[in-house]
Amino acid sequence: MTWRSPLALVRDALQGQRAREKELRSLTSNLPHEGQGRGTQPNRFFSSNAIKTTKYSLLFFIPMNLFEQFHRLANIYFVGLAILNFIPVVNAFQPEVALIPICVILSLTALKDAWEDFRRYQSDRRVNNMPCFIYSRKQKRFVERRWKDVRVGDFVKVVCNEIVPADLLLLYSSEPNGVCHIETANLDGETNLKQRTVVSGVCTTDRGFEPESFNSTVVCEKPNNNLNHFKCFVEKPNKEKLGAGIESLLLRGCTVRNTGHAVGFVVYAGHETKSMLNNGGSRSKRSKLERKLNIDVFFCVILLFTMCLVGSVGHYMWLESRTGSPPYLLPDSRSNSLASFHMFFTMIILLQILIPISLYLSIELVKIGQIFFIVNDIDLYDEETDSCMQCRALNITEDLGQIDYVFSDKTGTLTENKMVFRRCTIMGTEFPHKENAIRLAVLDEPESEEEIIFNQRPHSSQTAWSFEGEDAGPMDMHRRGQKKSKVVGTARSDVAFSSPLETEVVPDQNLVRQISRAESRGGSQRTDPYLDFFLALTICNTVVVSRATARRQRAGLSPCSSQTNNSFEALSDLVKKASLLIQRKSSRFRAQSQGPVIDSVRMESPADTNGLSPSVRPTAPAGSENLYYEAESPDEAALVHAARAYGFVLLARTPKNVSVRLPSGQVLDFEVLDVLTFDSNRKRMSVLVRHPITKECVLYTKGADFAIMELLGTPYAENLSKSHKNIASDTQRHLDGYAKEGFRTLCIAKKVVSEDEYRRWLVSRKSAQAAIEQKEQLIMDTAVQMETNLTLLGATGIEDRLQENVPDTTVALREAGIHVWVLTGDKLETAVNIGYACRLLEDEDLLISMSCKNKVTCTSSLDCNLEEMRRYSENPQNVGTIPNISLVIDGHTLAMVLSPDLQDRFVDLAKRCRTVLCCRMTPLQKSAVVKLVRDKLKVMTLAVGDGANDVNMIQAADVGVGISGQEGMQAVMASDFAISRFKHLKKLLLVHGHWCYTRLANMIIYFFYKNVAYVNLLFWYQFFCGFTGTAMIDYWLMIFFNLFFTSTPPIMFGIFDKDVSAEVLLGVPELYRTGQGKGEYNFLTFWISILDAFYQSLVGFFIPYWVYKDSDVDIFTFGTPLNTISLFTMLLHLSIEIKSWTVVHWIIMLGSVGLYFGVTLAYSAICVNCNPPSNAYWVLQSQMGDPMFYLVCTISTLVALLPRYTFHVLKNSISPSPLLQGRELDRMDPSTRDQWIREWRGFRGGGGGQVKRYQLSPPPSPTQETPVDFRPEFLNSAEATSDDFSLNVTTQRPVYT
Amino acid sequence: MVRIKKESPDRPDNTAFTQQRLPAWQPILSAGIVIPGFVLIGLAFIGVGVGLFITSRDIQVLEIDYTGTDQTSDCNKCTNPNTKNCVCTLSFNIDTLFKGPVFFYYGLTNYFQNHRRYGVSRDYKQLYGDLANFKDPSTDCAPYRLDSRNNPIVPCGSVANSLFNDTFKLYQIVNGQRNVVPFDGKGIAWWTDYNVKFKNPDVTPLQNAFNGTVKPLFWTKAVYELDFSDPSNNGFINQDFLVWMRRAALPNFRKLYRRIAEENYTNGLPAGNYSLEISYNYPVLSFNGRKKVVFSNVSWMGGKNDFLGIAYLVIGSLCVVMSVVMLIVYAKFKFPEDD
Chain A residues inside the 8 Å CB shell of B247: 1114-1115
C-alpha span between A1144 and A683 (Å, rounded): 59
Q: With CA atoms as reference, report the closest residue to A1233 among A1073, A1066, A1064, A990.
A: A1064
Q: Residue B308 and residue A1172: Cβ atoms within 8 Å? A: no
Specify the amino acid at residue B114: N
Give A386 to chain B, closest Cα distance, Å.
6
Q: Who among B116, B287, B307 is closest to A1028 (CB)?
A: B116
Chain B residues inside the 8 Å CB shell of A1233: none
* String of DSSP letters for A212-230: GG---EEEEEPP---TT--
Do residues A1236 and A1228 make contact, with C-beta atoms less than 8 angstroms apart? yes
Give A749 to chain B, closest Cα distance, Å.
46
Per DSSP (E only), the strands in A946-1015 are 959-963, 977-979
CA quadruple A414, A419, A423, A427: dihedral positive or negative?
Answer: positive
Low-confidence ranges of chain A (pLDDT < 50): 1, 281-282, 445-498, 524, 548-624, 716-722, 1244-1297
Q: Who among A330, A1106, A1169 is closest to B143 (CB)?
A: A330
Q: With CA atoms as reference, report the closest residue to A459 among A494, A486, A487.
A: A494
Confidence (pTM): 0.78
Chain B residues inside the 8 Å CB shell of A1115: 113-114, 119, 247-249
Q: Who among A1114, A1144, A1214 is closest to B333 (CB)?
A: A1214
C-alpha span between A1034 and A1170 (Å, rounded): 12
Q: Residue A1111 and residue B305: Cβ atoms within 8 Å? A: yes
C-alpha span between A926 and A408 (Å, rounded): 10
Q: Which residue of A has its CA nearest to B49?
A: A1191
Q: Which residue of A has its CA nearest to B12?
A: A376
Neighbouring CB atoms inside 10 A of A115's CB total: 10
Q: Who among A123, A327, A1227 is closest to B1 (CB)?
A: A123
C-alpha span between A899 and A852 (Å, rounded): 14
Do residues B188 and B243 make contact, with C-beta atoms less than 8 angstroms apart? yes
Q: Residue B19 and residue A1106: Cβ atoms within 8 Å? A: no
Q: Residue A1227 and residue B26: Cβ atoms within 8 Å? A: yes
| Residue A827 is labelled as binding a ligand | no
Q: Who among A92, A388, A1188 is closest to B301 (CB)?
A: A1188
* String of DSSP letters for A292-324: HHHHHHHHHHHHHHHHHHHHHHHHHHHHHH--S
pLDDT at A1003: 93
Q: Residue A1172 and residue B249: Cβ atoms within 8 Å? A: no
Q: Nearest 5°: phi and psi at B311?
A: -60, -45
pLDDT at A1296: 35
pLDDT at B248: 93
Do residues B210 and B224 make contact, with C-beta atoms less than 8 angstroms apart? yes
Q: Residue B190 and residue A330: Cβ atoms within 8 Å? A: no
Q: Which of A278, A1110, A1136, A1227 to mutate to test the interface with B (most CBs of B within 10 A)?
A: A1110
Q: Nearest 5°: phi and psi at A801?
A: -75, 145
Q: Who among A279, A1058, A1107 is closest to B20 (CB)?
A: A1058
- Rounded to a whole number of angstroms, the distance between the first and last alpha carbons of chain A is 79
| Residue A702 is labelled as binding a ligand | yes
Q: Which residue of B has its CA nearest to A1063?
A: B21
pLDDT at A15: 81
C-alpha span between A63 and A492 (Å, rounded): 54
Q: Residue A1142 and residue B22: Cβ atoms within 8 Å? A: yes
- Find the helix packing angle between B31-58 and B306-332, rounded to 10°: 160
Q: Residue B115 and residue A328: Cβ atoms within 8 Å? A: yes
Name A846's bridge partners: A885
Q: With CA atoms as reference, report the closest residue to A989 among A821, A1141, A814, A837.
A: A814
Cβ-Cβ contacts under 8 Å between A and B: the total is 269
pLDDT at B241: 94
C-alpha span between A1100 and A1202 (Å, rounded): 12
Do residues A888 and A848 make contact, with C-beta atoms less than 8 angstroms apart? yes
Q: Which helix (H) or strand (E) holds A1289?
A: strand A1289-1290
C-alpha span between A504 and A484 (Å, rounded): 15
C-alpha span between A766 and A92 (Å, rounded): 86
CA distances to A455, A848, A1185 from A452, in Å: 7, 44, 69
Give B266 to chain A, closest Cα distance, Å.
23
Long-range contacts of A1119-1123 (CB under 8 A, 24+ apart): A1119/A1031, A1119/A1032, A1119/A1033, A1119/A1034, A1119/B249, A1120/A1033, A1120/A1176, A1120/A1179, A1120/A1180, A1120/A1183, A1120/A1189, A1121/A1183, A1121/A1189, A1121/A1192, A1121/A1193, A1121/A1196, A1122/A1017, A1122/A1032, A1122/A1033, A1123/A1033, A1123/A1037, A1123/A1038, A1123/A1041, A1123/A1160
| Residue A1281 is labelled as binding a ligand | no
Give B77 to chain A, closest Cα distance, Å.
19
Neighbouring CB atoms inside 10 A of A562's CB total: 17
C-alpha span between A843 and A825 (Å, rounded): 24
Residues in chain A: 1297
Chain A residues inside the 8 Å CB shell of B320: none
Neighbouring CB atoms inside 10 A of A347's CB total: 28
CA quadruple A1225, A1230, A1232, A1234: dihedral positive or negative?
Answer: positive
Q: Which of A330, A1056, A1183, A1236 to mutate to test the interface with B (most CBs of B within 10 A)?
A: A330
Residue A880, sorted as left (phi over 0), alpha (psi -120 to 50) or beta, turns out to be left
Q: Nearest 5°: phi and psi at A1167?
A: -85, 90
Q: Who among A53, A376, A1114 is closest to B248 (CB)?
A: A1114
Q: Residue A1136 and residue B287: Cβ atoms within 8 Å? A: no
| Residue A1238 is labelled as binding a ligand | no
- Find the helix packing angle between A994-1022 and A1048-1056, rounded to 10°: 160
C-alpha span between A559 and A617 (Å, rounded): 12
C-alpha span between B113 and A613 (Å, rounded): 92
Specify the amino acid at residue A871: R
Active site residue A730: no
Give B99 to chain A, closest Cα distance, Å.
19
Q: Which residue of A has its CA nearest to B286?
A: A324
Q: Who among A328, A372, A1118 is closest to B111 (CB)?
A: A328
Instruction: State the alpha helices, DSSP H only, in B173-273.
Output: 191-192, 239-245
Q: Which residue of A has its CA nearest to B81?
A: A324
pLDDT at B9: 60
Instruction: State the alpha helices, DSSP H only, in A233-287.
Output: 274-277
Q: Residue B287 and residue A326: Cβ atoms within 8 Å? A: yes
User: Which one-letter DSSP state was computed for residue B202?
Assistant: S
Give B328 to chain A, closest Cα distance, Å.
11
CA quadruple B133, B135, B136, B140: dihedral positive or negative?
Answer: positive
Chain B residues inside the 8 Å CB shell of A1029: 116
Do residues A322 and A268 make contact, with C-beta atoms less than 8 angstroms apart? no
pLDDT at A1154: 96
Specify the amino acid at residue A606: P
Q: Residue B24 and residue A1140: Cβ atoms within 8 Å? A: yes
C-alpha span between B241 and B77 (Å, rounded): 27
| Residue A409 is labelled as binding a ligand | yes
Q: Residue B315 and residue A1198: Cβ atoms within 8 Å? A: yes
Q: Which of A55, A328, A1058, A1227 to mutate to test the interface with B (most CBs of B within 10 A)?
A: A328
Chain A residues inside the 8 Å CB shell of B312: 1191, 1195
pLDDT at A289: 86
More confident residue, B222 or A1280: B222
Name A628's bridge partners: A546
Q: With CA atoms as reference, report the closest residue to A326 among B288, B240, B279.
A: B288
- Rounded to a whole number of angstroms, the distance between the first and last alpha carbons of chain B is 63
| Residue A1186 is labelled as binding a ligand | no
pLDDT at A456: 36
User: Which residue of the set A409, A471, A845, A1034 is catalytic?
Assistant: A409
Q: Residue A378 and residue B140: Cβ atoms within 8 Å? A: no
Q: Which helix (H) or strand (E) holds A27?
A: strand A24-27
| Residue A489 is labelled as binding a ligand | no
| Residue A826 is labelled as binding a ligand | yes
